[in-house]
Amino acid sequence: MTVAWILKQKGRNVISAMPDTLVGHAVSLLERHNIGAVVVVDEQNRVQGIVSERDIVRILATEGPGALVEPVAGHMTRNVVVCTEHHSIDWLMEQMTMRRFRHIPVAENGRLAGIVSIGDVVKHKLAMAESEAAQMRQYIAAG
């Protein structure tokens, strides 16, 4: 099963921001859209970085509230691991587990084309397990 399957269910909309967006505005985006990360892109929609809830906690703990009026460019994670819609969901799980992050943006031809969170992966895995269990029950009932 690939990333394309998850995108088909959830859509390709991604909340993104430009590098000059203020950290405080990124916080508002996280709250307003009830999400865990904002992807930072340039004018061509190419991924430049990512700012997640965990970054906000780190920024506030290490630099204090003054950082809220600074651009995200100075605070975001720059080496973003991205995937394409052809990557397998198992590959995503492996990356998220090994590298300890919960978001992987999807890029197509270098442009942002979706995002998969750990919540999307868990939802998918649960649906798969439920469908397998239902098939098994049917098989047993059929004798």
**Least distance to ligand AMP from the beta carbon of 107, Å?**
11
Q: Per-residue x/- mask for ligand AMP, residues 82 to 121, rule CB under 6 A?
A: -------------------xxxx-----------------
Show the CA angle centred on residue 29, arms to residues 26 and 30, nearest 5°.
90
For residue 116, the cross-strand partners are 104
**Of the candidates 78, 66, 63, 76, which has an alpha carbon nearest to the alpha carbon of residue 24?**
66
Indicate whether 81 belongs to the interface with ligand AMP (CB under 6 A).
yes
80 binds ligand AMP (CB under 6 A): yes
Please state whether 34 falls in left (phi above 0), alpha (psi between -120 and 50) or beta. Answer: left
Contact with ligand AMP (CB under 6 A) among 10, 15, 27, 36: 36
Q: Is 10 in the site for ligand AMP (CB under 6 A)?
A: no
Using CB under 6 A as the binding rule, whether residue 15 contacts ligand AMP is answered as: no
- In the complex with ligand AMP, which residue's Cβ is closer, 97 or 131? 97
Six-digit token pair at 14?
């991604």
Q: What is the 3-state secondary structure (H, E, C) of 39-81?
A: EEECCCCCEEEEEEHHHHHHHHHHHCHHHHHCEHHHCCECCCC
Query: Is residue 37 part of the contact set for ligand AMP (CB under 6 A)?
Result: yes
Residue numbers at the binding site for ligand AMP (CB under 6 A): 36-37, 50, 52-55, 77, 79-81, 101-104
